[in-house]
Amino acid sequence: MSGITTNGADGFHVLSQILSCLLLAGWAFLAIFHLLGIFYGFYKFHRKKIPNNLKELPGISIIKPLTCADSNLYDNLKTFFNLKYPRYELLFCLQEHDSELVDMIERLRAQYPHVESQLFVGSQYTEKRQENNSDDDDDDDDQKNDNLRLVSNSKDLPSTSKRMVSRKRPSCCGTQKLSSGDALLKTGTMEIVNPKIFNMLGAYEKAQYPLFLISDSGLMMYEDTLFEMALCMTEDVGLVHQMPFTANRQGFAGTVEKVYFGTQHARMYMAINLLGVNCVTGMSCLIRKACIDQVGGLKAFGRYIAEDYYLAYEVSKQGFKLRVAPTPAQQNSGNYSIKSWTDRMIRWCKLRMRLSPLAYIEPLQESFSSAILAGLVTNYLFEWNALVVAACHVLLWFICDYIILRITQGGPLPFSKFEFAVAWLIRELSSFYIYFKAFTGPATITWRGKIYRLGSGTRVDELHSSSSSQSSTPTLVVESSSIPASSNSILPVTG
């Protein structure tokens, strides 16, 4: 009897040692993964390239989907009129008429008449035209594009509300009629239900260049960033994406956001891309238009909430590579707070849980959780002091995070080391609250003023508006992913 007990104890001891060794190996892999992100960021970020011939650079159509104005929007949009690139056009998309936004864009267009630009408002658009265009030409355009309203020039816009009359879109295959903004578009069996895709459709159809850039409204862009992205678009590359980061903004909330995107997010984003598991964020993506045209255009992705995931998947499926741009995306929205950041992170986490099972083990790769595991495992295997190991782990992690933040920033930080330490500590501790809320909370997300219930895959059903006012966002009903399980080479980071 004692022999059986001894054998059982020995078996448990062996099993414990095996499990401890596996955890130690995982901790070591995590440390290596962390260092890979730092080294790749050091290699990739802020590296300048000089082309042999500027004339060989292709033209680029920049699509800017806009929803509402904030205090930084004018300055953000102005940076896109000052890009140092030989051939590009700006395509502004407004889901519905907004006088403040229209006036803001028209002021910029008047200030920079040499920059090609078009303005799409709901089902209408305006573009810069030659003054010798006749009314007959405009009539012909209306006949060819009945869903687009043409305003000949910006001088007509003081009476914009009168000129831009809402027009019905033509019905397709017997589906329901649509009004500007709040609608559900069906083309055959294809549903255009993602409001961002719905907003960009007219601009995409009018884009004249072989490359198009989807750029979210809250971004600013350095004058040479588009140039750098275009240089990454070699013959074997189909998509170039910017890693999300933030511009220098005032207030502690801006510091926390910069610390998050420049540390935890940056090291994971860069390490994953270095290993060939592409993690694409759709806030700033330069894409070959031919790749998207081949599958029916941008509307083919309108049924997905994580459209960036599926755009990247399609480009990769066609045999093209995906590359990270040397300059991170500069998020510069005027509306930001700690609460809005945590709500956004919870939403991202919930979506990742539906798109990748790896999201469920994300808490183990955080600094404090991995420090606790490292202390317990090394104490069990080597009898090292668990508190000392954990403290050393957190200290080294803190130093590495400061290094990668400086690398991502590409210059001095806009806050002190003490402010970094406080923001870093809040970010690390709040991560457990974010995971807890995402894992245990209801299977719903709030997006653009509406609440949606998440189902399997990326399927969602609208519940109701989160505000008393009627939203103009199209109803969002996203089908489950049809991508095979073997295609896990792309991990989504959705906004």
Given CA atoms 68, 493, 299, 202 in this order, what sign does their dihedral have? positive
> What's the chain's average pLDDT?
77
Confidence of residue 21 (pLDDT cuts 50, 70, 90): confident
Confidence of residue 472 (pLDDT cuts 50, 70, 90): very low
In DSSP terms, which residues pair with 399 in a beta bridge? none
Confidence of residue 167 (pLDDT cuts 50, 70, 90): very low
pLDDT score of 60? 97
**For range 299-328, the mean pLDDT:** 89
Given CA atoms 138, 141, 142, 147 in this order, what sign does their dihedral have? negative
Q: From 449, 456, 450, 461, select the one nearest 481 (Cα to Cα).
A: 456
User: Does the pLDDT of residue 470 top 70, yes or no?
Assistant: no
Residue 194 C-alpha from the chain's centroid:
14
Confidence of residue 335 (pLDDT cuts 50, 70, 90): confident
pLDDT score of 454? 63
**For range 323-346, the mean pLDDT:** 92
**For range 72-79, the mean pLDDT:** 96
pLDDT score of 276? 77
pLDDT score of 181? 33
pLDDT score of 144? 38
Q: From 197, 487, 196, select the one nearest 356 (Cα to Cα).
A: 487
C-beta separation of 43 from 181 below 8 A: no
pLDDT score of 58? 93
Give the pLDDT confidence of 114-153 residue by residue, as tens digits.
999 999 987 554 555 333 333 444 444 443 333 333 332 3
Tell me, letter by letter, the H, E, C secondary structure of the chain.
Answer: CHHHHHHHHHHHHHHHHHHHHHHHHHHHHHHHHHHHHHHHHHHHCCCCCCCCCHHHCCCEEEEEEECCCCCCHHHHHHHHCCCCCCCEEEEEEECCCCHHHHHHHHHHHHHCCCCEEEEEECCEEEECCCCCCCHHHHHHHHHHCCCCCEECCHHHHHHHHHHCCCCCECCCCCCCCECCCCCCEEECCEEECCHHHHHHHHHHHHCCCCEEEEECCCEECCCCHHHHHHHHCCCCEEEEECCEEECCCCCHHHHHHHHHHHCHHHHHHHHHHHCCCEEECCCEEEEEHHHHHCCCCHHHHCCCCCHHHHHHHHHHHCCCEEEECCCCEEECCCCCCHHHHHHHHHHHHHHHHHHCHHHHHHHHHCHHHHHHHHHHHHHHHHCCCHHHHHHHHHHHHHHHHHHHHHHHHCCCCCCCHHHHHHHHHHHHHHHHHHHHHHHHCCCEEEECCEEEEECCCCCEEEEEECCCCCCCCCCCCECCCCCCCCCCCEEECCC
- The residues spanned by each domain of the chain are 54-243+281-336, 442-482
pLDDT score of 419? 97
Q: Is 141 a catalytic residue?
A: no
**For range 456-472, the mean pLDDT:** 45
pLDDT score of 358? 78
**For range 372-393, the mean pLDDT:** 91
Give the pLDDT confidence of 477-493 residue by residue, as tens digits.
333 333 333 333 333 33
User: Does the pLDDT of residue 471 top 70, yes or no?
Assistant: no
**For range 323-350, the mean pLDDT:** 91
- How large a percentage of the chain has pLDDT more than 70? 72
pLDDT score of 102? 92
- How large a percentage of the chain has pLDDT more than 90? 45
Confidence of residue 275 (pLDDT cuts 50, 70, 90): confident
86 burial level (CB within 10 Å; 0-12, 13-18, 19+) = middle
Confidence of residue 393 (pLDDT cuts 50, 70, 90): very high
Write the CB contacts of 435 (distance below 8 Å, at least 6 apart in sequence). Answer: 349, 362, 363
More confident residue, 320 or 177: 320
Give the pLDDT confidence of 183-207 residue by residue, as tens digits.
333 444 456 777 888 899 999 999 9
* Catalytic-labelled residue, pool 137, 308, 343, 401: 308
Q: From 109, 144, 114, select the one nearest 126 (Cα to Cα).
A: 109
CA distances from 226 to 114, 321, 326 (A): 17, 18, 11
CA distances from 423 to 174, 325, 363, 404 (A): 55, 27, 19, 15
> What is the spatial distance between Cα 163 and Cα 170, in angstroms, rounded to a whole number?
20
C-beta separation of 304 from 310 below 8 A: yes
More confident residue, 454 or 346: 346
Confidence of residue 450 (pLDDT cuts 50, 70, 90): low
Give the pLDDT confidence of 222-270 residue by residue, as tens digits.
999 999 999 999 999 999 999 999 999 999 999 999 999 999 999 989 9
User: Which of 54-68, 72-86, 272-286 ranks highest by mean pLDDT?
Assistant: 72-86
Q: From 270, 357, 266, select the one nearest 36 (Cα to Cα).
A: 270
Range in 79-83, 118-122, 176-180 the model is least confident about: 176-180
- Fold of domain 54-243+281-336: Spore Coat Polysaccharide Biosynthesis Protein SpsA; Chain A (3.90.550)
User: Does the pLDDT of residue 274 top 90, yes or no?
Assistant: no
Confidence of residue 74 (pLDDT cuts 50, 70, 90): very high
Range in 15-29, 381-395, 400-414 the model is least confident about: 15-29
Confidence of residue 409 (pLDDT cuts 50, 70, 90): very high
Token digits for 199? 């907003």
pLDDT score of 67? 82
Confidence of residue 468 (pLDDT cuts 50, 70, 90): very low
203 burial level (CB within 10 Å; 0-12, 13-18, 19+) = buried
**For range 292-300, the mean pLDDT:** 93
pLDDT score of 415? 96
Dihedral through CA 305, CA 209, CA 327, CA 231, nearest 10?
Answer: 130
